[in-house]
Amino acid sequence: MLPKADADDLPAPETAVSRAVPRGTSIQAAPTPAHRRELTFRAVATAMAVAALIGGSYPYVVLKIGYGPNISVVSAFFGYLALSAIAFFTGIRGTRWENNLVQTAGTAAGEAGFMCVVLAAMDMLNARPELGFSLHLSSLQIFGWLSVAGLIGVLLAVPLRCHYIDDENLPFPDGTAAGETMMVLDLDKTQARARVRALGWGLLASALTAFFRDFHWKATLAGKARQLLPFIPGEIPFGAHGAALRMGTEVSLLSIGSGIIVGLRVTLAMGLGMVISWVISPPLLTTRHIVADQTYGLVL
């Protein structure tokens, strides 16, 4: 049984035009359906399920690998899969507005999960009484802390958006990636074919890069044990103390794509901060005997 399309299921408008627009011609956005489905029961139920999944898994992911993948895009994918499964049985196709509601809930839950990592730091400090740190929060205190922090985030979202996106014209890569993902998922087959093909090739290239960089394989050739994989370096340290300071880079298509979206201004600002923090500061700290050696733990 295929989901039925109706007025709410118009394909997402294109975000760019392929030809130049004559001077003086105004560009109008595609009309929005008068009765679009957004705050529906299935959207709310799916949002709660995705939020529970993301919020419960992301603290573990962050503590395990040291960082968290893009929450918005992951939530959008989970929301699309769940809404598509519901549409298979109900015959009513999910809309991009419903999926936007789902990914918003998943993103909020994931950010709350990131804050829970601070609790792990508190437990690590509590486990070392010689540091003189003792802070034990109850479940009610943790709930209140996360609730107030989330409320502050919601209340500050609108003015901060006006400043950083409207006034400063910053690209906001996380939101851009999530928005493009939902737009592509909402297109019909004829419109989405080229974009899905590009997405597939990108996923394949990224997977192969990660495989040849992270997978370890030894084999015996001509009577000698040889390290066949990885042949793409996982970490490329910068400078004589780069490895000890954990300062360097890695071959990652995700980093290249993020740099393209972020733009030159933000990239240069981040690069300048890295140089000040990890190139200029460590020798000064050791010269003034503030730290004993140029290592990541001491300099940090």
So what's the pLDDT on residue 228? Answer: 76
Global pTM exceeds 0.85: no
Chunked in runs of 10, what are the mean pLDDT values of the chain (300 residues)? Answer: 46 40 44 68 92 85 69 87 89 87 88 77 82 84 84 81 79 78 78 76 87 82 76 82 84 80 82 89 89 84
Q: Could you state, in order of their start, the residue ranges of all structural domains in the chain?
A: 37-186, 233-299
CA distance 175 to 164: 13
pLDDT for res 272: 92
**CA 73/CA 103 separation, integer angstroms:** 8
Query: Which pLDDT belongs to residue 69?
Result: 66
